[in-house]
Chains A and B, each alone.
Chain A
Amino acid sequence: DIQMTQSPASLSASLEEIVTITCQASQDIGNWLAWYQQKPGKSPQLLIYGATSLADGVPSRFSGSRSGTQYSLKISRLQVEDPGIYYCLQGYSAPWTFGGGTKLELK
Chain B
Amino acid sequence: EVQLVESGGGLVQPGRSLKLSCAASGFTFSNYYMAWVRQAPKKGLEWVATISTSGSRTYYPDSVKGRFTISRDNAKSSLYLQMNSLKSEDTATYYCARVMAYYFDYWGQGVMVTVSS
Contacts and interface: CB of A to CB of B under 8 A. Distances in A.
Contact of A94 (B59, B103, B105): B59
Contact of B44 (A32, A34, A95, A100): A100
A44 interface: yes
B interface, over-half SS: strand
Nearest to A92: B102
A interface, over-half SS: loop
A34 B103 contact: yes
B103 A43 contact: no
Contact of B47 (A32, A46, A98, A100): A98
Contacts of B47: 95-98
B88 interface: no
Interface stretch (B17-25, B74-82, B107-115): B107-115
Interface of A: 32, 34, 36, 42-46, 49, 55, 87, 89, 91-92, 94-101
Interface of B: 44-47, 50, 59, 61-62, 95, 100-110
